[in-house]
């Protein structure tokens, strides 16, 4: 555990330089997922189920194969069978029996848009024509979309043999409930009995898509000996490699994956959809194969995060102390198990010191696309319910919502419902910073206007990262990491490298190396990269410095222990102090051949000691009483970032999370017809906010350094999306006197509440 | 993958001849902002596309008998940039300017908006409220038709085989006239009307309403002219009570459906709200506050 570098000594960390990859991006030269081509390349297209739920009796591909220009067709039968087992930690467990079926259906189509076959052809038009020639014999089955409906005894079952996990005594009857999880501390029932006031309410949220602008795309080539290479848009090319290798039966070392530039991910590009299909088509045809989804495919067959049905109960004393809390969270998993309900159970009350808490979660399958991570997966959903209920409690006892939260904050040492004790400061400072914002003293006073406050918690991640640093003869350094850059991580890793080495930011060239050129690195997600990848870059830079000092010792013909590194130069020290003028990074780099050859260092880490993200936010709104339209007048978001390596990107992360939260709160939802077909699979009718819908979002950066990182980093990218839904619902309540516990707060729903 | 023929005739007569003489799926291409999207998504696979952007009378704005005639293929942005036109018909211009992004507005035309026959088309209620007529050319020559008689239902028009809408005519504007169009969308732009309302009214020198036309959109299978709403205004000073009555008439006339963009109940109420707000704007304009 290293001490945090003092702020006074920092030169590059804490500034906001231009992004190193900015020029290729703004000039259109950057290569995104769909920008790769190869000679002899074929176009892959995927045939998708038109039914929400159907048994696949037979697939006849013979006519498609006869169409001139068609080079290969694959169906579920082409993919190797996978063992049915849940592997990995419970929170993120994988089951490849499910994963391979999500990529390509086998026995059943479980949602509209579920892939059932794919073709590779000489042109996109031929591929599209070939899809029409594939004959699929479906037995259409009753379907279920809503989570409460799916949990009913008589609901159509997606998996006839799925016995719910997590029950005592063990469940014996098949159900759409994949799993029940529960957490408990204290004596919840006794505490409720003693509380002065008990608040209880039911909440619902709609599933929402991550909404990245760039659709999924990849190019895969294969060699005759089974080696393969893949270029794709993802948050983790190592994850693409490992998942694709397993699904296609390829040796991990034989699949080399490159990270394309990425046009947004937000958690949704942590899994594979098209890569294994392209690989199988490439294997079968012997040609490189490119697959690019359109927007409709993205909406119908990727993402989203869960919709949920939830009940919250809070017991509070008249002095503002919360004595008991309970949450029941039913999350839609989509077509395969694995909603983030466990996170929801863990995060909902995590920032508060409540002695008696019980949270129960249900992971429920239904005929929708399989849910995928979305920015702080699981936490925003349960927080909408918990933070709305906290607002109700604060109102009931007549306390300011920030003071109410401050009275109940968790501090280092406070036990959480999931067993561990909180180990970090930051929440109190964040709430105080929000309260100190000049606007907090001036709540909106106009007609139909109101304010809502909410807070948020997210774990943040550490984990495995690798980096190599190579010094060049001109005094520049190349920093290779395995982390796809979705939020400015090339800039921040270059900043941390420049700071550590003592050289200018412009002399560091950060790149993302392919899976065969740098050590294993987990996906860019969980707000882990600036923390964990940053740390391994710093470690590699420290190794370079050690080597640089040895080279200086060699040049000076003195003992290496009498050389120190200061301000980017080696200096003689100890008994040699002052004997030689300092040798700069550039001077030593230029003498590498004569002093021992290339100067490079590699480092890998399984980083621990990440600190959670805390945020507190308020929204000021005005509600049109005749149309139900909610206008956000002002939005202020305070967040503890540990230390801002690049303050503008921290602000950008806060803006981004809040904007996505505003969309989630106001308009985003999946609309299904009675046959379980999505009616709004496009940006026109899946209403994400546009720029003119938004006020200036005021980001308040709070810096309570993480003692476990040399520069004090805490993850920044996710906590910010946790509070907006509750903040806005609380504001609408404050503006209109009507509390709406179901998202989205769309104009028809708000108007109906106002008119009720 | 059927073959598609593309033609770009230079005269209305040539365009009509092409359309009248061909069989299969025929489409007229103006700005293409609906048609190209439909073709790319596979909803329509035309055998013949007749591009009318090269036909001068379909792409120009001219003064005629003190009023305006503008080509059916004139882009929204061109109407907006025509100082005299947009001053005389600010409501219609604003309605056309609600169609899509700036890039879209540089291509999208009022003629296309009308003939695409979406019940939610923004320029159509404003055009009907304005009392516009359309010149239609076909194999049997030309005819003048009220705009409200063209769209008959979603994607359907009263145009016969080989007929195209050539231009629109807006009559000379009496003094003290004003028009306005408002739509409701859950966002601020880049969306499709949940409901829309266009109003055009004329006052006499004393401020009394002598003529009014009210048309509501996205609340029926096509834009609805609401005579009862107009009656509520004519003869009044367009005071609060008259506006309230007019809004109620709009809600009473609406016969919307529940769909992904809004509910029946919501549309019924909010079309009245939009009409009332549009009437207030039109009134101000009629009083000279452009």
| ipTM (interface pTM) | 0.95
Report how far residue A123's alpha carbon sits from residue A552's, in angstroms, rounded to the nearest whole number: 60
Read off the CATH number of the domain in which A125 is found: 3.90.1170.50
In a domain, A354, yes or no: yes
- Cα distance from B100 to chain A (closest Cα, Å)? 10
Alpha-carbon distance of B169 to B181, in angstroms, equals 18
Shared-domain flag, residues A442 and A371: yes
Percent of chain B with pLDDT over 70: 99
Given a cut of 80, is residue A479 above it in pLDDT? yes
What residues have CB less than 8 Å from A113, skipping those under 6 apart?
A48, A49, A297, A300, A301, A369, A678
Q: Are residues A663 and A715 in the same domain?
A: yes
In the predicted model, is pLDDT for residue B1 greater than 60? no
Q: What is the reported pLDDT for A83?
A: 97
Distance between B104 CA and the closest CA of chain A, angstroms: 14
Range of the domain at B19: 5-51
A456 backbone φψ class: left, alpha, beta (φ>0; ψ -120 to 50) = beta
Shortest distance between the Cα of B177 and any Cα of chain A, in A, equals 27
State which residue of chain A sits closest to B190, comparing Cα positions. A684
Q: Using the 3D structure, point to which of B131, B146, B170 is the last residue of a domain.
A: B170
Distance CA A650, CA A652 (A): 5
CB within 8 Å: B187 and A752: no
CA distance A693 to chain B (A): 6
Partners of B193 on chain A (C-beta within 8 Å) are none
How many domains, chain B? Answer: 3
A629 contacts in chain B (CB < 8 Å): 184, 186
The beta-carbon neighbor of A690 closest among B189, B260, B269 is: B189
Q: Does the pLDDT value for residue A2 go beyond 60?
A: no
The sign of the torsion formed by the CA atoms of A284, A290, A294, A299 equals positive
B188 and B276 co-located in one domain: yes
Q: Is the pLDDT of residue A287 over 90?
A: yes
Q: Which residue of A has its CA nearest to B267?
A: A748
Contact B266 A748 (CB under 8 A): yes
The string of pLDDT tens digits covering residues B202-214 is 999 999 999 999 9
Q: Give the residue from B190, B243, B259, B279 with the most A CB atoms within 10 Å of its CB, the best one to mutate.
A: B190
CATH number at residue B160: 3.30.465.10
Considering the domain architecture, whether residues A572 and A627 belong to the same structural domain is answered as no
Residue A203 in any domain: the answer is no
* Structural domain ending residue among the three candidates B111, B136, B170: B170
Question: Where among A558, A592, A607 does a domain terminate?
Answer: A607
The neighbour count for residue A506, using CB atoms within 10 Å, is 12
What distance in Å separates residue B146's CA from the closest CA in chain A?
31
For residues A368 and A383, state if they share a domain: yes
What is the tens place of the pLDDT at every residue in B158-182?
999 999 999 999 999 999 999 999 9
* A244 and A367 both lie in a single domain: no
Residues B37, B110 within the same domain: no
Report how far residue B262's alpha carbon sits from residue B219's, in angstroms, rounded to the nearest whole number.
10
Residues A110, A225: one domain? yes
* Residue whose C-alpha is closest to residue A632's, from A669, A670, A661: A661
pLDDT of A507-537, one tens digit each? 999 999 999 999 999 999 999 999 999 999 9
The C-alpha of B149 sits at a distance from chain A's nearest C-alpha, in angstroms, of 29
List residues of chain A with CB under 8 Å from any CB of chain B: 125-126, 128-129, 296, 626-629, 666-667, 671, 679-680, 684-685, 687, 689-690, 692-693, 746-748, 751-752, 755
pLDDT tier at A88 (50, 70, 90 boundaries)?
Answer: very high
pLDDT band at A30 (very low <50, low <70, confident <90, very high): very high
Query: In this structure, are B80 and B24 located in the same domain?
Result: no
- For chain A, the maximum distance between any two Cα atoms, rounded to a whole number of angstroms, is 87
Query: A1 pLDDT band (50/70/90 cuts)?
Result: very low
Q: Whole domain around residue A132: which residue ranges? A: 34-141+210-301
User: What are A608's two structure tokens?
Assistant: 């621990």
* pLDDT given for residue A3 in this prediction: 66
Residue A304 has pLDDT above 90, yes or no: yes
Residue A687 lies in a domain: yes
Q: In terms of domains, do A324 and A278 share one? A: no
B162 with B66, same domain: the answer is yes
Q: What chain A residue is nearest to B273 in terms of C-alpha separation?
A: A626
Judge if A238 and A365 occupy the same domain: no
CA distance B18 to B165: 15
**Among A572, A589, A607, residue at a domain's last position:** A607
B191 and B262 share one domain = yes
Model confidence pLDDT, tens digit, residues A193-223: 999 999 999 999 999 999 999 999 999 999 9
Query: What is the structure's pLDDT at A91?
Result: 87
CA dihedral sign, ordered A555, A558, A559, A562? negative
Residues A287 and A368 in one domain: no
Cα–Cα distance, A635 to A720 (Å, whole number): 12
pLDDT one-digit tens code per residue, B39-78: 988 899 999 999 999 999 999 999 999 999 999 999 999 9
Residue A483 maps to which CATH number?
3.30.365.10
Task: Give the nearest partner residue to A751 out of B1, B190, B266, using CB atoms.
Answer: B266
With respect to residue A428, please indicate whether it lies within any of the assigned structural domains: yes
A635 min Cα distance to partner chain B (Å): 17
Quick one: pLDDT at residue A5? 80
- A680–B260: do the CB atoms touch at under 8 Å? yes
The reply to whether residue A687 touches residue B186, judged by beta carbons under 8 angstroms, is yes
Neighbouring CB atoms inside 10 A of B172's CB total 12
pLDDT at A7 over 80: no
| A197 part of a folded domain | no
Chosen domain end from B170, B198, B223: B170
Supply the mean pLDDT for chain A.
Answer: 97
Domain annotation covers residue A625: yes
Question: Considering CB atoms only, which of A685, A692, A747 is closest to B188?
Answer: A692
Is the domain of A565 the same as that of A668? no
Residue A181 lies in a domain: no
Domain boundary among A607, A629, A649: A607
Residue B2: predicted pLDDT? 65
Give the residue from A366, A341, A343, A456 showing the smallest Cα distance to A148.
Answer: A366
The answer to whether the Cβ–Cβ distance between A747 and B261 falls below 8 Å is: no
pLDDT tens-digit series, residues A429-449 = 999 999 999 999 999 999 999
Determine whether the interchain pair A125/B1 forms a contact, defined as Cβ–Cβ distance below 8 Å: yes
Contact predicate A533/A520, CB 8 Å: no
What percentage of chain A has pLDDT greater than the value 90? 98
**Same domain flag for B261 and B184:** yes
Q: Test B266 with A692 for CB contact under 8 angstroms.
A: no
Does the structure show a pLDDT above 70 at B290?
no
Give yes or no: residues A603 and A491 share one domain.
yes
Please write the tens of the pLDDT for every residue from B227-264: 999 999 999 999 999 999 999 999 999 999 999 999 99
What gap in Å lies between CA A297 and CA A131, rounded to an integer? 15
- Whether residue A192 is contained in a domain is answered as no
| Count of structural domains within chain A | 3
Which residue does chain A place closest to B272, by CA atoms? A626
CA within 13 Å, CB half, A59:
28
Residues A488 and A627 both lie in one domain: no
């Amino acid at each position: 555990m290293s001490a945090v570098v003092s702020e006074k000594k920092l030169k590059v960390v804490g500034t906001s330089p231009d992004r190193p990859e900015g020029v290729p991006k703004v000039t259109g030269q950057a290569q995104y997922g769909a920008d790769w081509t190869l000679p002899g390349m074929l176009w892959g297209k995927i045939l998708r189920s038109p039914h929400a739920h159907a048994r696949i009796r037979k697939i006849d591909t013979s006519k498609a194969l006869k169409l001139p220009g068609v080079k290969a067709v694959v169906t579920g039968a082409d993919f190797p069978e996978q063992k049915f087992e849940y592997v990995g930690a419970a929170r993120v467990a994988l089951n490849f029996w499910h994963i391979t079926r999500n990529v390509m259906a086998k026995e059943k189509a479980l949602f509209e848009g579920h892939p059932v076959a794919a073709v590779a052809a000489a042109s996109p038009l031929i591929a599209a024509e070939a899809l029409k020639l594939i004959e699929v014999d479906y037995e259409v089955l009753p379907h279920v979309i809503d989570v409460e409906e799916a949990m009913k005894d008589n609901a159509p079952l997606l998996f006839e043999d799925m016995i719910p996990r997590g029950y005592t005594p063990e469940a014996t009857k098949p159900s759409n409930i994949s799993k029940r999880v529960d957490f408990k501390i204290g004596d919840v029932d006794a505490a409720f009995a003693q509380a002065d006031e008990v608040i209880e309410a039911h909440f619902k949220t709609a599933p929402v898509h991550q909404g990245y602008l760039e659709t999924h795309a990849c190019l895969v080539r294969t060699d005759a000996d089974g080696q393969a290479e893949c270029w794709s848009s993802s948050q983790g090319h190592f994850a693409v490699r490992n998942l694709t290798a397993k699904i296609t039966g390829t040796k991990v070392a034989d699949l080399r994956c490159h990270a394309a530039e990425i046009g947004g991910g937000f958690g949704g590009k942590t899994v594979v959809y098209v890569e294994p299909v392209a690989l199988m088509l490439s294997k079968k045809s012997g040609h490189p194969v490119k697959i690019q989804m359109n927007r409709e495919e993205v909406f119908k067959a990727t993402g989203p995060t869960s919709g949920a049905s939830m009940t919250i109960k809070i017991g509070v004393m008249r002095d503002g102390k919360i004595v008991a809390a309970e949450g029941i969270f039913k999350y839609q998993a989509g077509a395969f198990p694995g909603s983030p309900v466990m996170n929801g159970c863990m995060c909902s009350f995590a920032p508060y010191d409540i002695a008696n808490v019980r949270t129960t979660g249900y992971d429920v399958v239904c005929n929708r696309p399989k849910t995928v991570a979305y920015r702080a997966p699981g936490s925003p959903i349960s927080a909408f319910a918990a933070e709305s209920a906290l607002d109700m409690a604060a109102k009931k006892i007549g306390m300011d919502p920030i003071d109410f939260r401050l009275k109940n904050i968790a501090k280092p040492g406070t036990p959480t419902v999931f067993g561990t004790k909180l180990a970090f400061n930051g929440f109190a400072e964040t709430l105080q910073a929000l309260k100190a914002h000049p606007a907090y003293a001036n709540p909106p006073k106009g007609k139909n206007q109101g304010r809502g406050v909410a807070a948020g918690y997210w774990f943040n991640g550490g984990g495995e990262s690798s980096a190599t640093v190579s010094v060049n003869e001109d005094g520049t350094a190349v920093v290779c990491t395995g982390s796809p850059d979705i939020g400015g991580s090339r800039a921040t890793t270059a900043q941390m490298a420049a700071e550590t080495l003592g050289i200018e930011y412009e002399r560091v060239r950060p790149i993302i190396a392919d899976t065969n050129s740098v050590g294993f690195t987990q996906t860019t997600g969980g707000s882990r990269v600036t923390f964990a990848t940053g740390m391994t870059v710093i470690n590699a830079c420290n190794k370079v410095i050690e080597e640089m000092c040895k080279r200086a010792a060699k040049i000076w013909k003195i003992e290496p222990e009498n050389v120190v590194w200061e301000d980017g130069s080696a200096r003689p020290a100890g008994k040699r102090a002052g004997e030689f003028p300092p040798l700069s990074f550039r001077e030593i780099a230029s003498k590498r051949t004569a002093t021992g050859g290339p100067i490079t260092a590699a480092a890998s880490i399984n980083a621990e000691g990440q600190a959670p993200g805390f945020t507190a936010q308020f929204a000021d709104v005005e509600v049109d009483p005749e149309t139900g339209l909610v206008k956000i007048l002002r939005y202020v978001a305070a967040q503890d970032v540990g230390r801002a390596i690049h303050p503008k990107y921290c602000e950008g992360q806060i803006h981004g999370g809040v904007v996505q939260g505003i969309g989630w709160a106001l308009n985003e939802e999946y609309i299904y017809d009675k046959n379980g077909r999505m009616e709004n699979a496009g940006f026109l009718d899946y209403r994400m906010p546009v720029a003119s819908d938004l006020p200036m979002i005021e980001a308040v950066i709070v810096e309570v350094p993480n003692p476990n990182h040399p520069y004090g980093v805490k993850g920044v990218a996710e906590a910010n999306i946790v509070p907006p839904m509750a903040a806005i619902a609380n504001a609408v309540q404050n503006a209109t006197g009507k509390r709406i516990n179901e998202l989205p707060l769309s104009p028809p729903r708000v108007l109906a509440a106002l008119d009720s | 993958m059927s073959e598609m023929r593309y033609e770009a005739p230079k005269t209305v007569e040539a365009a009509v001849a092409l359309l009248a003489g061909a069989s299969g799926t025929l489409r007229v291409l103006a700005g293409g902002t609906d048609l190209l999207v439909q073709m790319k998504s596979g909803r329509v696979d035309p055998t013949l596309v007749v591009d009318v952007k090269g036909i001068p009378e379909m792409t120009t704005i001219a003064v005629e008998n003190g009023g305006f005639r503008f080509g059916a293929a004139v882009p929204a942005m061109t109407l907006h940039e025509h100082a005299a036109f947009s001053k005389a018909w600010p409501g219609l211009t604003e309605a056309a300017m609600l169609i899509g992004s700036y890039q879209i507005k540089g291509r999208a035309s009022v003629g296309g908006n009308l003939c695409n026959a979406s019940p939610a088309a923004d320029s159509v209620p404003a055009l009907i409220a304005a009392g516009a007529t359309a010149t239609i050319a076909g194999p049997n020559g030309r005819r003048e038709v009220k705009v409200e008689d063209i769209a008959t239902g979603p994607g359907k028009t009263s145009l016969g085989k080989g007929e195209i809408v050539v231009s629109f005519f807006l009559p000379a504007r009496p003094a003290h006239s004003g028009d306005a169009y408002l739509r409701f969308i859950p966002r601020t732009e880049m969306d499709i009307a949940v409901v829309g309302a266009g109003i055009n009214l004329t006052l006499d020198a004393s401020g009394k309403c002598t003529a009014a036309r009210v048309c509501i959109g996205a609340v029926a299978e096509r834009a609805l002219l609401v005579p009862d709403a107009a009656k509520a205004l004519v003869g009044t000073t367009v005071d609060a009570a008259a506006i309230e009555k007019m809004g109620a008439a709009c809600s009473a006339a609406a016969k919307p459906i529940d769909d992904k963009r809004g509910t029946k109940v919501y549309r019924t109420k909010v079309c009245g709200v939009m009409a009332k707000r549009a009437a207030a704007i039109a009134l101000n304009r009629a009083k000279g506050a452009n």
